[in-house]
Amino acid sequence: MKYEPVIGLEIHGELLTNSKMFCSCSADYGSAPEPNTNICPTCTGLPGAMPVVNKKATELAALVGLALNCSINKHNTFARKNYYYPDLPKGYQISQYELPIAEKGSLDVNDGSENQLKVRVRRVHIEEDTAKLAHEKNYALVDFNRAGVPLLEIVSEPDIRTVEAALDYATKVRAILRYLGVNSGDMEKGVLRFEANISVRPVGSDEFRTRTEIKNLNSFRALVRASQYEIERQIKIYEEGGRVVQETLGWDDVRGVTTSQRSKEEAHDYRYFPEPDLPPLQLSDAWIESIRTQLPELPEAKTARFISDFGLTPSEARFLTSDMALANYFESVVAKSKSPAKTVHSWLAGELMRQLNDSNTDIKDSPVSPETFAQLVDMVNDKMISGNAGKVVLRELFEHGGDPARIIKDKNLAQVSDTGFIQEAIDKILNDNPKEVEQYLAGKETLFQWFMGQVARATKGKADPNVAKELMVKGLEERKK
């Protein structure tokens, strides 16, 4: 029997506010000098401390809701989610339960075979992050600096049917959060975490079978590997006539297996109830509309525009729009350059990205400005310099800065389309290599590239390749006679 997976994702992302969700401590807990210095009675749950809602966090949450095509609940409420764990000082987490700030949205994703799939977003709600535990040998240490940092939870419906689609959904959500400036997307820092709910069923069936939930996936790679593993594990259980038990799993990245954390029988009853210390949030239409006006052009729309305005392929456009800073850089180069957008794309996606990756530099901090990059692309496009020389100039610009025209002059890189100079080089090559000429004329046509390589070497890459090619063809023809 053939099985298909059913996947629903829960995504937790911290919000980039100045202060924590319910107190005025800094949300930038990473900058705290020592553990337990970025704390106050509210975020450490001291008796009598009262929470106050962070206005900015509600704005950012609504912005995310709108970006994910959700409807905003004008009346939404906070709830207590009760459980005990040492990283939760109050003994409950303030969250949203019955009435989240946003619900019923959707996101179009690619299912891995270039088909579009609409994944429904069930809800987007506000909650608070927990403290951090450090487990030592016989004891654990707790650091409350992170406790109470605004956290957003985005829950999908179980609409996802392939691991590729799960990856695309997670990738798109991350890109949207970054576009909106609400989350850095730095998964190594733990500011964005995934949970995958997974079940499998026979292809063609429309029942939902028992699911498991894999917690705290801290990278795209972990999401993919854990999901694949869990799908295989469940299929094997059914094939052997067993049944899947509903449980919460962890992912062991080293061993590459999911591990049981707790089963349904031990599952929490969170005893949610309305948070008595916080009034419901009442949002006006005008407020919601003012948030809507802050929405930037989102990756999906930008991709479509890049395809139609710049003649890029979908995958080229998707690459450029995967990051707003990259898309902006591309657009400013195109605006300043006379070269086709396709050419700009290929230099950007190729050489510039290589330099950025090699030096671990973000495009935002590129030492080569869009103006300078545009000049360089134009010089190659105008055949003032060869492609290879362009790479040399770019490396120089990247490492030492400066002006492309100056570098070309200093390094004597200007391309020559003067036929006399090129002809001379070709004649010498053909005269010096009679054996190769003979083989070529006898039918070994692959040698042509070798001859061209000799030209590039002899002219130090300064010969215009089109002119050289033409003269080379002629030179070889003549030797036929």
Which of the stretches 4-12, 309-317, 366-374, 420-428 binds ligand ADP when contact is defined by CB under 6 A? Answer: 4-12
List beta partners, residue 9: 196
Q: To the nearest whole angstrom, how small is the minimum distance from the Cβ of residue 34 to ligand ADP? A: 36
Tokens at residue 155, please?
């829950």
Contact 66, 104 (CB under 8 A): no
Q: To the nearest whole angstrom, how small is the minimum distance from the Cβ of residue 360 to Zn ion? A: 34
Q: To the nearest whole angstrom, how small is the minimum distance from the Cβ of residue 83 to ligand ADP? A: 14
How far is Cα of residue 38 from the mean position of the Cα atoms in its chain?
30
Selected from 3, 6, 223, 373, the binder of ligand ADP by CB under 6 A is 6
Q: To the nearest whole angstrom, how small is the minimum distance from the Cβ of residue 165 to ligand ADP? A: 13
* DSSP sequence for 126-138: EEE---EEEE-SS
Q: To the nearest whole angstrom, how small is the minimum distance from the Cβ of residue 147 to Zn ion? A: 8
Site for ligand ADP contains 4 (CB under 6 A) = no
Q: To the nearest whole angstrom, how small is the minimum distance from the Cβ of residue 450 to ligand ADP? A: 58
Q: In the window 112-171, what residues touch ligand ADP (CB under 6 A)?
A: 155-158
Beta carbon nearer to Zn ion, 44 or 375: 44
Site for ligand ADP contains 8 (CB under 6 A) = yes
Q: Are strands 212-217 and 247-252 parallel, antiparallel or unpaired?
A: parallel
Residues at the site binding Zn ion, with contacts judged by CB under 5 A: 23, 25, 40, 42-43
Task: Write the CB contacts of 47 (distance below 8 Å, at least 6 apart in sequence).
Answer: none
* Rounded (10°) CA dihedral 373, 375, 377, 383: -160
Which of Zn ion, ligand ADP, none is residue 10 near (CB under 5 to 8 Å by kind)? ligand ADP
Beta carbon nearer to Zn ion, 36 or 419: 36
Site for ligand ADP contains 197 (CB under 6 A) = yes
Q: To the nearest whole angstrom, how small is the minimum distance from the Cβ of residue 114 to Zn ion? A: 48
Which of the stretches 5-13, 45-53, 164-172, 342-350 binds ligand ADP when contact is defined by CB under 6 A? Answer: 5-13
Q: How deeply is 18 buried, as exposed, middle or buried, from its count of CB atoms within 10 A (0-12, 13-18, 19+)? A: exposed
Beta carbon nearer to ligand ADP, 97 or 319: 97
Beta carbon nearer to ligand ADP, 198 or 344: 198
Q: To the nearest whole angstrom, how small is the minimum distance from the Cβ of residue 121 to ligand ADP? A: 10
Site for ligand ADP contains 372 (CB under 6 A) = no
Task: List the beta strands (DSSP E) in 112-171.
Answer: 116-128, 132-135, 140-143, 150-156
Contact 132, 143 (CB under 8 A): yes
Q: To the nearest whole angstrom, how small is the minimum distance from the Cβ of residue 293 to ligand ADP? A: 30
Coil, strand or helix at 185 = coil
Selected from 134, 208, 350, 358, the binder of ligand ADP by CB under 6 A is 208
Site for ligand ADP contains 100 (CB under 6 A) = no
* DSSP sequence for 268-291: -----EE-TTSPPEE--HHHHHHH
Site for ligand ADP contains 211 (CB under 6 A) = yes
CA distances from 343 to 132, 372, 465 (A): 48, 15, 17
Q: How many CB atoms lie within 10 A of CB 67?
A: 24
CA distance 58 to 183: 14
Count of residues touching ligand ADP (by CB under 6 A): 15
Which of ligand ADP, Zn ion, none is residue 8 near (CB under 5 to 8 Å by kind)? ligand ADP
Contact 32, 145 (CB under 8 A): yes
Which of the stretches 6-14, 32-40, 77-85, 102-110 binds ligand ADP when contact is defined by CB under 6 A? Answer: 6-14
Contact 118, 94 (CB under 8 A): no
**Residue closest to ligand ADP when measured from CB atoms:** 8
Which of Zn ion, ligand ADP, none is residue 413 near (CB under 5 to 8 Å by kind)? none
Sign of the CA dihedral 51, 52, 56, 61? Answer: positive
Which of ligand ADP, Zn ion, none is residue 40 near (CB under 5 to 8 Å by kind)? Zn ion
SS3 content of the chain, % helix, strand, coil (to 5): 45, 20, 35
Q: Which residues bind ligand ADP (CB under 6 A)?
A: 6-10, 155-158, 197-199, 208-209, 211
